[in-house]
Amino acid sequence: MYHVPVLLNECLSALRVRKDGLYFDGTLGGGGHTQAILEQGGIVIGVDRDEDAINECTERLKPYGDRVKIVRDNFKNADNILGEAKLDGAILDLGISSHQIDCCERGMSFRFDGKLDMRMDNRQLLTAEMVVNEYSEDRLIRLLYEYGEESYAKKIVRNIVKARAVAPITTTMQLSEIVKASVPKNIPSPQKRTFQAIRIEVNNELRGLDKAIKDIFAHLNAGARMCVISFHSLEDRIVKQTFNLLSTDCICDKSLPVCVCGHKAEGKTLKKIKPSPSELKENPRSASATLRVIEKLL
Same fold, 8-94+206-296 and 100-203: no
Distance CA 129, CA 132 (A): 5
Report the run of H or E that residue 31 belongs to, with start and end: none
DSSP string spanning 180-215? HTTS-TTSSSTTHHHHHHHHHHHHT-STTHHHHHHH
| Superfamily holding 100-203 | Putative methyltransferase TM0872, insert domain (1.10.150.170)
Distance CA 50, CA 215 (A): 21
pLDDT tens digits, 256-269: 778 877 778 899 99
| Superfamily holding 8-94+206-296 | Vaccinia Virus protein VP39 (3.40.50.150)
Q: How many residues belong to the chain? A: 298
Say what the pLDDT of residue 292 is.
Answer: 98
Helical segments of 46-150, H only = 51-60, 78-82, 98-102, 128-134, 137-148
Q: What is the gyration radius of the CA atoms in the chain, in angstroms? A: 20
DSSP string spanning 145-181? HHHH--TTHHHHHHHHHHHHHHS---BHHHHHHHHHT
Say what the pLDDT of residue 253 is.
Answer: 77
| Helix, strand, or coil (residue 18) | coil
Q: How many CB atoms lie within 10 A of CB 249?
A: 11
Cβ-Cβ contacts under 8 Å for 285 (sequence gap 6 or more): 4, 6, 98, 101
Say what the pLDDT of residue 23 is.
Answer: 98
Distance CA 168, CA 175 (A): 10
pTM of the model: 0.93
Order of all β-strands in the sheet with 43-48: 68-72, 43-48, 22-25, 87-93, 220-230, 290-296, 267-269
pLDDT tens digits, 116-172: 999 999 999 999 999 999 999 999 999 999 999 999 999 999 999 999 999 999 999
Q: What whole-number percentage of the chain has pLDDT above 90?
A: 87
Is the distance from CB of 198 to CB of 118 less than 8 angstroms?
A: yes
Is the distance from CB of 17 to CB of 91 less than 8 angstroms?
A: no
Distance CA 78, CA 218 (A): 10
Kindly give the confidence (pLDDT) of every residue in the chain, 298 residues in length, as a single tens digit, with 9 standing for 90 and above: 678 899 999 999 999 999 999 999 999 999 999 999 999 999 999 999 999 999 999 999 999 999 999 999 999 999 999 999 999 999 999 988 888 888 888 999 998 899 999 999 999 999 999 999 999 999 999 999 999 999 999 999 999 999 999 999 999 999 999 999 999 999 999 999 999 999 999 999 999 999 999 999 999 999 999 999 999 999 999 999 999 999 998 878 777 778 877 778 899 999 899 999 999 999 998 999 999 999 999 7
Domain positions in the chain are: 8-94+206-296, 100-203
